[in-house]
Amino acid sequence: MTPTMRKVDTPRGVFTVYKLENSIGASVELSSFGAGIVSVTVPDREGKMADVALGYANVGDYDHDGPCAGKVPGRYANRIARGDLVVDGKQYQLAINNGPNALHGGPEGFQNQLWDSKVEGEAVVFELHSPDGDEHYPGNLHVTARYTWSDDCRLTLKLHAVSDAATVINLTNHCYWNLGGHDSGTALDHMLQLNATRYLPTDDTLIPTGELAPVAGTPMDFTAPKRIGEEIKADFAALHYGKGYDNCWVVDNAEGGATWHARLVDPKSGRRLTVVSDQPGVQVYTGNWLEGCPEGKGGHVYHDYDAVAIECQGFPDAPHHANFPRQQYGAGEVYERCIEFRFDANA
């Protein structure tokens, strides 16, 4: 399939929106702002199409939106405690933009940048140069996000980055999913299963304590399919801190390469999303603070818990925890990760 494109004038500049449509009419739209996913339209069990990705009526509203909808945050996705970063013995102070901590690379992180973009065959490729000192991170970093869309409704994102000096890198995609359709209301009735028998407990600012705790016997146990809303109001510290789920799970056997991280099912429509990646962790965020975000597509108003983000990534605050998989890369060392979103529908 050959991607088509349109240009959209915004106060921030001209955004380029690409559309990829497969042989059954299922489609994906991608934006050069934040290298983001704007829409994903896929069939339900009866063949009815719906857009299952949260997004905005006005493309310009992706600029510095609170939810970071659909975009690629960086240079370090998720949180770094107190914005305190040490690389090769040198101290860096990152911007504090989430309580006392640094989040998603800072207020001018990759999610809030206009990326260069191009079509390569059937792929859409976004590129960004992050200069040395960008949001106080060291090293000139070149980043590539490459998306492809298949006839069997697989959206594949390949992330590549390399720096000319030691730095930290943690990239993901922050799309929010509601498999009943982005405008269908709460996602708390979706069934979720995670390939994870451990999770990362946090303090009340959502910074990991360093422990890799078993999920067994807790509301964090999604080893078998479970309704997202079943225990979201349980008297459990992690759920109080984030007003719902906003935690990183430790993917089982992740060191062996790409494996499934999460399965999300909407029982009403039958749509199913399987997320496959080679990342060591998966952050699940149940849209606990969507209220008040920009107006949605078609004029829809989003509310808390109307969608769930499934973010395959390195562990939050890894620079402060020697027992976490490393996220520091040396000069010339290649960061390369893949995330695949597989859509189908059960009978």
**How many other β-carbons are positioned within 10 Å of the β-carbon of residue 345?**
19
Contacts (Cβ under 8 Å, ≥6 apart) of 19: 3, 4, 5, 6, 27, 28, 29, 30
The first and second tokens of residue 14, run together, are: 């001209």
Report residue 205: phi and psi, to 5°. -105, 10
Phi then psi for residue 110, to 5 deg, are: -55, -30
298: burial class by Cβ within 10 Å (0-12, 13-18, 19+)?
A: exposed
What's the Cα-to-Cα distance from 26 to each of 87, 152, 156, rounded to whole Å? 44, 9, 15
Cβ contact 24:150 at 8 Å = no
- Residues annotated catalytic, as ranges: 174, 311
User: In the sheet where 308-313 sits, what is the strand order?
Assistant: 176-177, 308-313, 281-285, 246-250, 198-199, 213-214
Owner of token pair 């004029």: 299
How far apart, in whole angstroms, are the C-alpha atoms of residue 59 and residue 31? Answer: 9
Which residues sit opposite 98 in a β-bridge?
101
